[in-house]
Structure 1
Amino acid sequence: MKVLVTGGAGFIGRWTVDRLLKDGHQVWVLDDLSNGRKENLDDLKKQKNFMQFITGDIKDRRILNHLFTKKFDICYHLAASINVQDSIDHPEVTFNNDVVGTFHVLEQCRKNNVKLVFMSTCMVYERAWSAEGINETNPVKPASPYAGSKLAAENMVMSYFHAYNLPVTVIRPFNTYGPYQKTGGEGGVVAIFLKNKLADKSLQIYGDGKQTRDLLYVEDCARFIIESGYSDKTNGEIINAGLGSDISINDLAKLAAGDEDRIEHITHIHPQSEIPKLLCDYSKAKNLLGWEPKYSLEEGVQKTEEWIKSTNLI
């Protein structure tokens, strides 16, 4: 197939492109590099089915008009402003990228009859109330402009399914981590903890650290993303993916550092956006796609630490 990945130079985007190439598809990548890095794609660009990398913005209609002349079969729309704290400080930027940008991509998919897989987030949910975790019917509670923008975009995506019969799928991966994730302020908690451990620094935790997260290894996430696009069963559906078990940030820090004395609790910058318990029920993904995670948290953390060591990011 001919496939477009928006945000393909990002952390999850890079792994999605990698998987699509391994499956034999022709892949185009659009990324404005506000969050992604060209270097993430260095080893993938050499492959014959990597067709083109375009530095550009999903809000630029001219670029999108030109790109969609390629007659794609699927568009995996991963491009977005993804930082919760930034969205609270600069909500307009997040709204324009995540809602307006998604609208422009949607319009191109409608005009060219291209299936769209829209990357949303578990942050739209309120919290996990039961031991079974959060399923797709759980209540939503956008506690940040990031979550609000993703929900608004989800609704636009689903409206195109109902109004135009456009094949669309909304996916809500839980907290994803692994190699190629940034290890600085915009990175994920696992990558930041591991980098600080390797650099002999303290591991800082916002608040009391009792908040829990369901952590999904990035290769499992990429497999979920692309398989959501392959199947017609997913059209018009919202689907979760996660590990199916959660861990407190305190326990995650202990796992990463192996030393409780390195942990330091600091005042939360935006406590109003904190979700106290995130635990995924991925049974819908399992039923529709036969998908389930292959990597345990311990395996994923070890692979991520090995990658950080190999890249001299410390």
Structure 2
Amino acid sequence: MGQNILLTGGAGFIGRWVAKHLLDVGHNLWILDDLSNGRESNLIEFQKHPNLKAFIRGTILDEKLLTSLFTENNFSVCYHLGASINVQDSIDDPRTTFNNDTVGTFYILEQCKKFNTKVVFMSTCMVYDQCSSESGIDEMHPIKPASPYAGAKIGAENMVLSYYHAYGLPTVVIRPFNTYGPFQKTGGEGGVVAIFIKNELDEEVLNIYGEGTQTRDLLYVEDCARFVVSAGFTDAVNGEIINAGLGRDISVNDLALLIVKDSSKIRHVKHIHPQSEIQKLLCNSAKAKELLDWEPEFSLEDGISRTREWIVKGGLA
């Protein structure tokens, strides 16, 4: 028998893949999304799935809505992915990001506490200070809130963990590194891989912010979704913070060359938020391997190839 599960932010890029994974393994799923970043079109293929019980267009800031959802459905797990996720937006408008990412998470926690619903909280690698070691960033690595987005996520993480320690509520904080793949937006709010591939296909120049020497650890979205889902059904991670990444970093310059194969089609432009840039991101996922028996299955080249194939077939802009 499948369990009743609430997924916030389920119409988003990663949320869509988490939804697919949960439905594939037979759970009953309710998706809550305000569509400020997600798209209902991401969920088209699940519309007639017998286990997709409801898609609710609504906000995690609506306590009345949350109360009725939790009271009526007896959720075992809440995967809390709903958030404002854009670093630049958080710098321009920190209030919206704080309300969605910190206050909204508090409202979710209050409901989960009432019904002893496990919370899987989606945080971000952007909370970390830059990496100086080749062994990568583990969960004990120093944090540095270099943007209001990172600050709001750290505030929410601390609340999530406090509910584990203060109330015994099963909670886990997950910090996936830079995730990419099919269904990621290829426009301004998208990820670097999707934007670069779209520009290459359109024979447009690839713009790189700053010098392009900054590195990213790029995690393919299906690997990320497996990681997210497994955290909801493993007691060993309760009260923990867990990273997930490929364990290999690549500079933005090298990533652009890997995609476009021609340096004359790459241009460097002024950085829009240099103060919030993290120069080196390399993930150490040893804890995920130990506690979840999780490790990535897709190489960077394979993931880029799959993402390119999806965009060529008309992936959404």
Q: TM-score, normalised by structure 1?
A: 0.99
- 2:249 equivalent among 246, 251, 255: 246
Identity of aligned residues (%): 64
Contact 2:79 2:120 in 1 (8 A): yes
Counterpart code for 2:103: V
Structure 1: segments with no counterpart, 5+ residues: none
Whole-Å Cα distance in 2 between the matches of residues 51 and 45 of structure 1? 9
The answer for the alignment partner of 1:26 in structure 2 is 28
For the pair 1:109 / 2:112, whether they are aligned, the reply is yes
The answer for the alignment partner of 2:261 in structure 1 is 258
Whole-Å Cα distance in 1 between the matches of residues 28 and 263 of structure 2? 47
Calculate the aligned-residue CA RMSD, in Å.
Answer: 0.7
5 Å-filtered alignment, 1:1-314, equals 1-69=3-71, 70-311=73-314, 313=316
The structure 1 segments of at least 4 consecutive aligned residues displaced by more than 3 Å after TM superposition are: none
Whole-Å Cα distance in 1 between the matches of residues 316 and 21 of structure 2? 24
Whole-Å Cα distance in 2 between the matches of residues 284 and 241 of structure 1? 9
From the superposition, tell whether residues 313 and 258 of structure 1 become closer, same or farther in structure 2 (CA, over 3 Å): farther
SS of 1:15's equivalent in the other structure is helix
Whole-Å Cα distance in 2 between the matches of residues 127 and 44 of structure 1? 39
Whole-Å Cα distance in 2 between the matches of residues 200 and 264 of structure 1? 13
Whole-Å Cα distance in 2 between the matches of residues 237 and 23 of structure 1? 25
Whole-Å Cα distance in 1 between the matches of residues 38 and 278 of structure 2? 26
Counterpart code for 1:6: T
Whole-Å Cα distance in 1 between the matches of residues 215 and 172 of structure 2? 27
Structure 2: segments with no counterpart, 5+ residues: none
State the shift of 1:124 in Å: 0.3
SS of 2:232's equivalent in the other structure is helix
SS of 1:225's equivalent in the other structure is helix
State the shift of 1:312 in Å: 5.6
SS of 2:45's equivalent in the other structure is coil
State the shift of 1:76 in Å: 0.1
SS of 1:183's equivalent in the other structure is coil
State the shift of 1:129 in Å: 1.2
Contact 2:212 2:252 in 1 (8 A): yes
Counterpart code for 1:253: A
Contact 2:183 2:315 in 1 (8 A): no
SS of 1:30's equivalent in the other structure is strand
Whole-Å Cα distance in 2 between the matches of residues 257 and 166 of structure 1? 48
State the Cα deviation string for residues 30-50 of structure 1 (Å, max 9, x = none): 000000000000001211101
State the shift of 1:313 in Å: 4.7
